[in-house]
Every structure is written in C-alpha cells, then in structure tokens.
Amino acid sequence: MATRTVIPFGPQHPVLPEPIHLDLVVEDEKVVEAIPSIGFIHRGLERLVEKKDFTEFVFVAERICGICSFIHSQSYCQGIETIMGLEVPRRAHYLRTIWGELSRIHSHLLWLGLMADGMGFESLFMHAWRVRERVLNIIESTTGGRVIFGSCKVGGVRRDIDEPAMQSLLAALVETERETREIVQVFLNDSTVKHRLCGVGKLSHEDAYKLGCVGPTLRASGWAQDTRKLGYAAFDELTFQPITRTEGDCYARVAVRCDEIFQSIDLIRQAAAKIPAGEIAVKVVGNPNGEYFVRTEQPRGEVIYYLKGNGTKNLQRFRVRTPTFANIPALVKTLQGCNLADVPLLILTIDPCISCTER
C-alpha cells in the first residue's frame, strides 16, 4: 500500500478567489479522500434579519453574493410578496427575468474565464472576460450598477427599461452572442481543453441526484431539473427546456454552461418581445405574517430562501441554502480517485461561490 499524505488545499490558492479548504488525502498522485472546511468568512447575515426592516433587508440579501446578486434580491422579494399576497405587476416580473438572465450570462462568462485561467489558457480567459464586460455594460446602462443592481424591491422593481434602452440592450446582445460563439467553440472543440476536461471528475446520473446536486452540476449528469420551470417571474410565459448532458464529467459541466449562455440570450429576447406595458411596482402596506420557501434558479443552481414573518417589521427567520452548499458533497465524492493535478479544475467545475455559502 502506498504511503498516504495529507495535502492542504486552500483556503488561499491560485484557483480559489474565495476561501474553501480541503484536506486532500493522496496516495502517490491519486486523491483517495477529500475533507472540506468552510466557514472562514461566515457573516451571519441570516441573523441580521432580526435587526433590519423587511423592506430594507433587500439590500442585505442582494449583497449575499457579488455575482448572482440580483437573483438573491429577487428571491427575497418573491418570498415577501408571496407571504403578503402582493400582486406584482407583470412588467416588473419581466424586468426581473431580463436582469436575472443577464446575471446568468455574466456569471457563466466569468466562470468560463476562471476555468480557462485554471487551465493556464490565459488568452481564452481574457476573451471570456472581455465579452463579459459587454454584459456588465448592459447591466450598468439599465440599472446604474455593475455588480449590485439595486433594482429589485418588495412589490416590484425600482427602474424601468424604456423602449430605446430595450432596443439598445438587444443590439448589444447580438454582438455578445457572436463573440460568445467564438470563444465557446474553443471551450468545446480545442484539443488541449478537451484533454483536460473529458472523462475527468465523472459524476454518475444516480450520484448527482442522491448527493443533492443542483444547477449545471446536476444537469450535466443527465437530470433536466431547472427551477425556472416552476414558472416564477415571467418564466411561465417563456419557452425553454433545461439544458442537459449525459457524460457527467468536467467537459459536460462546461458544455451545459456554454449552452445556457445562449439560452439566456434567447430568454431575454423572448421577454423583450412579450413585456407588457404598465406599472413596475405596487405599494406595500403592512408587515409579513407567515412563512414560505422560495425556490429560484441562480447561475449555480437552485437556491432556497426560507422566510418567516410574525407580523412585525422584522422577519423572525431568514434562511438561505445556496447552490454551492448543495454541490459541496458531490465535489467531495468526485475528488475521490482523481489525479492531484485535476483537483483545481474539478473544484472549478462546480462553480463554487463561497461568498454565497458564507452568507
């Protein structure tokens, strides 16, 4: 039997912009066990809800993550609105859908860049982030923010997108799509990329489900599970099918995210074509009294918000289960048996967002 060595991986590591630690037990170059540690930057935001007015807490919820910030605020608002029985205008739902999908595009492009960087493919990394910059510009022109949108509020949205701005947005998406197709060709067809990803970190169809995976990690193992199919926001009026692959390896997880960029562009076009005129918010009267589990689809997968109000301005409980938290057990399983050199890429393919996880 080969000698076992424990190699500490993280919390500071070139491929990890955020802190997660893994104790990798290796035999020669093979990882035989991985023990995760999180909690280095746990912020206790769930507890802060007891001190903030429920309408103000949207700003805190949005800051749970710096990448999928808008969908966090959207999830929070949806929960409060459901508890209070608020009828949010359809136009606000469409605007939320558009901004949510823009978040998904920029998140996936950011991740593709990090993936290329992890492989040492620096020019591809720069191209991915260059295209992402276009998306951030669209977000900035429609919300005023690039990372924190500040557009969602309980009862609707704060900003509208008028017709000229919508046309400008759609025109920018044409160029974004063209440039994304160019870099996606490299991600999916380049021999060096395929060599690093194909057959690596396989997650079987059964394991992906049993381990509680969500998002692209689950869909890359053949499960057509996408929380947007629940029909929240404007998704009940848009046509799309979850994107799946069956290989369950790192390549499949990359391919799912690549295809989801184009799916999001299509969803934005559908939403822009169908968006109704009208109000963008309703007045909020009273305090939430009741409970609800909100489920939405973030770029990394299903997020769960549990909100419980007791009729006062402060919520009694605010709990978030982030997609990265749900994908950590699968990461631990797939690391078992992999080569030490593949560990960074394997970690990257679940698109870990520790900022979310340390809410």
CB of 196 to other proteins, least distance (A): 27
Please select the residue that binds other proteins; options are 212, 237, 247, 282, rule is CB under 8 A: 212
Other Cβ atoms less than 10 A from the Cβ of 313: the count is: 14
CB of 260 to other proteins, least distance (A): 18
Please select the residue that binds other proteins; options are 120, 293, 339, 341, rule is CB under 8 A: 293
Please select the residue that binds other proteins; options are 229, 240, 262, 340, rule is CB under 8 A: 229
- The Cα 201–Cα 203 span in angstroms is 6
Residues whose CB falls within 8 Å of the CB of residue 236, separated by 6 or more in sequence, listed in order: none
CB of 211 to other proteins, least distance (A): 5
Per CB under 8 A, contacts with other proteins among 73-92 are: 82
CB of 193 to other proteins, least distance (A): 30
**# binding residues, other proteins (CB under 8 A):** 37
Side-chain half-sphere CA neighbours of 337 within 13 A: 7
- The Cα 110–Cα 355 span in angstroms is 15
Please select the residue that binds other proteins; options are 8, 66, 231, 311, rule is CB under 8 A: 231
- The Cα 20–Cα 354 span in angstroms is 7
By three-state DSSP, how is residue 157 classified?
strand
Q: Which is nearer to other proteins, 176 or 217 (CB)?
A: 217
ω into 11 cis (within 30 of 0): yes
Q: Which is nearer to other proteins, 40 or 59 (CB)?
A: 40
Please select the residue that binds other proteins; options are 259, 302, 342, 351, rule is CB under 8 A: 302
Please select the residue that binds other proteins; options are 232, 253, 265, 270, rule is CB under 8 A: 232
Question: How many residues are listed for the chain in this entry?
Answer: 359
- Cβ–Cβ under 8 Å, residues 353 and 303: no
Q: Which is nearer to other proteins, 202 or 317 (CB)?
A: 317
Side by side, which strands form the sheet with 30-37? 4-9, 21-27, 30-37
Please select the residue that binds other proteins; options are 145, 306, 313, 340, rule is CB under 8 A: 306
- Cβ–Cβ under 8 Å, residues 143 and 150: yes
H helix intervals, the chain: 45-48, 57-62, 69-84, 90-118, 122-143, 163-189, 191-197, 205-210, 215-219, 250-274, 323-335, 343-348, 354-357
Q: Which is nearer to other proteins, 171 or 293 (CB)?
A: 293
Per CB under 8 A, contacts with other proteins among 17-76 are: 35, 37-40, 42, 44, 46-47
Q: Which is nearer to other proteins, 274 or 293 (CB)?
A: 293
CB of 131 to other proteins, least distance (A): 32
- The Cα 355–Cα 62 span in angstroms is 12
Per CB under 8 A, contacts with other proteins among 314-343 are: 316-317, 319, 321, 325-326, 328-330
CB of 333 to other proteins, least distance (A): 8
Taking residues 153 to 192 in sequence order and writing x for each that binds other proteins by CB under 8 A, - otherwise, the string is ----------------------------------------
- b/e code 185-204 from CB counts within 10 Å (16+ = b): ebbeebeebeebbeebbbbe
Side by side, which strands form the sheet with 301-310? 289-298, 301-310, 315-321
Please select the residue that binds other proteins; options are 230, 286, 289, 337, rule is CB under 8 A: 230
Please select the residue that binds other proteins; options are 308, 342, 346, 351, rule is CB under 8 A: 308
- Crossing angle of the two packed helices 250-274 and 90-118, in degrees rounded to 10: 150
Phi, psi (deg, nearest 5) at residue 5: -130, 140
Q: Which is nearer to other proteins, 199 or 311 (CB)?
A: 311
Please select the residue that binds other proteins; options are 146, 202, 295, 313, rule is CB under 8 A: 295
Residue ranges that bind other proteins, judged by CB under 8 A: 35, 37-40, 42, 44, 46-47, 82, 209-212, 225, 227, 229-232, 236, 292-293, 295, 302, 304, 306, 308, 316-317, 319, 321, 325-326, 328-330
